[in-house]
Copies of this chain bind each other. A is one copy, B any other.
Amino acid sequence: MTAREIATFVRGEISGDEGVTILRVAKIEESGPGDLTFLANPKYEKHVATTKASAILVSTSFETKQVALPKGLTVIKVPDPYVAFLQILKLITPMPDPFPKGVHPTASVPASATLGTNVSLGAHVAVGDNASIGSGTKIAPCCVIGDSVTIGENCLLYPNVTVYHGCRIGNNVIIQAGAVLGSDGFGFVPKPDGSYEKIPQMGIVVLEDDVEIGANCTIDRATLGQTLLKKGVKLDNQVHIAHNVVIGENTVIAAQTGISGSTKVGKNVIIAGQVGIVGHIEIADRTVLMAKTGVSKSTEPGVTYWSTPAKEHKRALKIEVVLRSLPELAQDVEELKKAVETLNNRLVNTKP
| A contacts, CB < 8 Å to B | 25-27, 30, 41, 43, 82-83, 86, 89-90, 93, 95-96, 98, 104, 106, 108, 122-124, 126, 128, 140-142, 144, 146-148, 158-160, 162, 164-166, 174, 176-178, 180, 183-184, 186, 188-189, 194-196, 198-200, 202, 210, 212, 214-216, 218, 220, 224-225, 231-232, 234, 236-238, 240, 242, 249-250, 252, 254-256, 258, 260, 267-268, 273-274, 276, 278, 280, 291-292, 294, 296, 308-309, 311, 318-324, 326-327, 329-330, 332-333, 336-337, 339-340, 343-344, 346-347, 350-351
B-side contacts of A232, CB under 8 Å:
195-196
Shortest Cβ gap from A123 to chain B (Å): 4
Task: Establish whether residues A250 and B280, one from each chain, have CB atoms under 8 Å apart when the complex forms.
Answer: no
Main SS of chain A's interface residues?
loop
Task: Establish whether residues B142 and A144, one from each chain, have CB atoms under 8 Å apart when the complex forms.
Answer: yes
Shortest Cβ gap from A207 to chain B (Å): 15
Task: Establish whether residues B106 and A108, one from each chain, have CB atoms under 8 Å apart when the complex forms.
Answer: yes
Shortest Cβ gap from A98 to chain B (Å): 4
- Complex Cα–Cα for A106 and B237 (A): 30
B-side contacts of A194, CB under 8 Å:
249-250, 267-268
Task: Establish whether residues A186 and B126, one from each chain, have CB atoms under 8 Å apart when the complex forms.
Answer: no
Q: A86-B199, A308-B292 are in contact. Are A343 and B336 (CB under 8 A)?
A: no
